[in-house]
């Protein structure tokens, strides 16, 4: 349910469970984390994370596994921490809705590109869970503390246009143009020297 494509200087990871809105099991999260950890030492210029289908990037945790404890499993932090630590450019190509715990890996990416039909929500207050520990800080760094509370405490559901205006996503691209938009964003990093990329990321807050 996780597919990995490897080009010369770019890896593309696809969450491939569209019949379940690309919801994530513990096994899928563990596989994602291992791939990202491997990517850190692969000398690539960019890593892209996306979802299969045209409805959802990921709806977050698989509901059955969430009720069994996945919602508070440390594997979420392992994954988002590995993404944040990558020495290359990381891009979340949001082919559809982003919800719940799936926010972690997207927030940890350097850039987020979304299709216009995506929706964004993180309903932890209603569901009775705390967000993943690093998510509120990363979200607030992008959109500010009040808007972070709007999502986490107020249960707001953002359109892609609102997410762009807030700074939660960086670009919008139609479904037919998403791949091209990602190609354009990763081209320089794919051509760059790994040491230079690492140095640039080290200089960025």
Give me 155's structure tokens. Answer: 């249960």
Residue 103 pLDDT > 90: yes
Range of the domain at 169: 2-203
pLDDT band of 150, cuts 50, 70, 90: very high
- pLDDT digits over 73-95, tens only? 999 999 999 999 999 999 999 99
What residues contact residue 185 under an 8 Å CB cut-off, 6+ apart? 89, 91, 111, 113, 171
User: What pLDDT was estimated at residue 67?
Assistant: 86
- pLDDT digits over 164-185, tens only? 999 999 999 999 999 999 999 9
Please choose, from the candidates 53, 49, 152, the residue with its C-alpha nearest in 3D space to the C-alpha of residue 110. Answer: 49
Q: Is 15 helix (H, G, I), strand (E, B) or coil?
A: strand
Q: What percent of the chain has pLDDT over 70?
A: 100
Query: Mean pLDDT for the chain?
Result: 97
Distance of CA 131 to the CA centre of its chain: 15
Domain count, the chain: 1
- pLDDT digits over 109-135, tens only? 999 999 999 999 999 999 888 999 999
CATH code (residue 44): 3.90.226.10
Phi and psi at 17, nearest 5°, equal -145, 55
């Amino acid at each position: 349910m996780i597919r990995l494509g490897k080009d010369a200087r770019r890896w593309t990871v696809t969450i491939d469970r569209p019949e379940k809105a690309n919801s994530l099991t513990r096994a899928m999260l563990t596989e994602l984390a291992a791939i990202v950890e491997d990517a850190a030492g692969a000398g690539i210029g960019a890593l892209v994370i996306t979802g299969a289908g045209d409805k959802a990037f990921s709806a977050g945790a698989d509901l059955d596994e969430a009720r069994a404890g996945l919602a508070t499993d440390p594997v979420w932090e392992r994954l988002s921490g590995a993404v944040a630590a990558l020495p290359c450019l990381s891009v979340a190509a949001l082919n559809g809705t982003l919800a719940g715990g799936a926010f972690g890996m997207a927030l940890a990416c350097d850039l987020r590109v979304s299709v216009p039909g995506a929706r964004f929500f993180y309903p932890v207050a209603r569901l009775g869970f705390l967000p993943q520990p690093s998510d509120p800080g990363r979200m607030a760094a992008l959109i500010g503390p009040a808007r972070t509370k709007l999502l986490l405490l107020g249960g707001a559901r953002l359109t892609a246009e609102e997410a762009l205006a807030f700074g939660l996503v960086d670009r919008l691209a139609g479904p037919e143009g998403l791949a091209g938009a990602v190609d354009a964003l990763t081209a320089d990093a794919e051509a760059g020297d790994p040491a230079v990329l690492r140095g640039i990321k080290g200089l960025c807050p």
